[in-house]
Amino acid sequence: MSDIAVPTIDLTSPTVVEEVRDACNRCGFFLIKSHGVNETVISDAWRTVRDFFDKSEILKNEVAMSEAYPYGYGGMNTEKTGNERQGAYDTSDLKESFQVCLSSAAKPAAVPPVRWPREPTTLSVHFTSYYRAMETLAHRLLDIFAKALDLPQDFFPPLCDSHWSALRALNYPEQIHPPNPGQLRIAPHSDYGVLTILRADDAPGGLEVLRVDGSWSPVVIPEDCFCVNLGDLMQRWTNDQWRSTVHRVSFMRALNRPQTAFLMIKINK
């Protein structure tokens, strides 16, 4: 749980290490600006994945996730996120998703071959570019983490050099009918990996973090920022010194309104 509001940190600030240390100790979430990621890479990935979600269910389900292939497309009401945690419910999350795992550029793991959709034809190019940009940003963040934990600068690379990180796009379509009792866009959960880097649009959304007092605090992500949060593995690695905070995606506004779309990469060991 978080005992402070999610702070915004400039990655070029001379006090970035101290600011990141405080955010990780007390919140497990922080926003970053001056991150250096090419805006064209971001906008190309964003535009192309929106195009994918606008395609027919038949086309999207050609690359559906399954027990044998835990990536690809997941339609509405096909997943339950963290329902063993706060406010569990019997029905599934009101979202759709598409995810891929490309692994490390330098030392790839033996991951399943990506199943790209037939359309849009440029999705594989733009998703790959975005994945590599997030991989570079993640390494930059891990360098800062090492300094914040008083560890050697080369501490994290051997732990993540052959990762299984997933790039996941989430879409929250217009909701015409009321949700089931207690049903959310994404149920309360903590992430299981090392860290997550999230980009969100400015549509009405609902990312919220759990505060120490049990209340939920909304996270507003400006257009020029990414949201970063720690996962359970990082909390374990730091012997619970840093926090993997429970969060959820809720309904922040009335129905019949477009909801926020998320584009995230989860950095996993």
The pLDDT tens digits of the residues spanning 102-136 come to 999 889 998 999 999 999 999 999 999 999 999 99
How many residues comprise the chain? 269
Share of the chain above pLDDT 90, in %: 63
Instruction: Express each pLDDT in 133-170 by its tens digit.
Output: 999 999 999 999 999 999 998 999 999 889 999 999 99
Three state DSSP letters for the chain = CECCCCCEEECCCCCHHHHHHHHHHHCCEEEEECCCCCHHHHHHHHHHHHHHHCCCHHHHHHHECCCCCCCEEECCCCCCCCCCCCCCCCCCCCCEEEEEECCCCCCCCCCCCCCCCCCCCCHHHHHHHHHHHHHHHHHHHHHHHHHHCCCCCCCCHHHHCCCCCEEEEEECCCCCCCCCCCCCCEEEECCCCCEEEEEECCCCCCEEEEECCCCEEECCCCCCCEEEEECHHHHHHCCCCCCCCCEEECCCCCCCCCCCCEEEEEECC
> Which CATH number is 8-267 given?
2.60.120.330
Q: How confident is the model at residue 260 (pLDDT cuts 50, 70, 90)?
A: very low
Mean pLDDT of 178-198: 87
Question: How is residue 268 written in tokens?
Answer: 């996993």
Instruction: Express each pLDDT in 18-65 by its tens digit.
Output: 999 999 999 999 999 999 999 999 999 999 999 999 999 999 999 999
Identify the pLDDT of residue 264: 67
Parse the chain into domains and list their residue ranges: 8-267
Identify the CA nearest to 144 among candidates 243, 247, 35: 35
| pTM across the whole model | 0.91
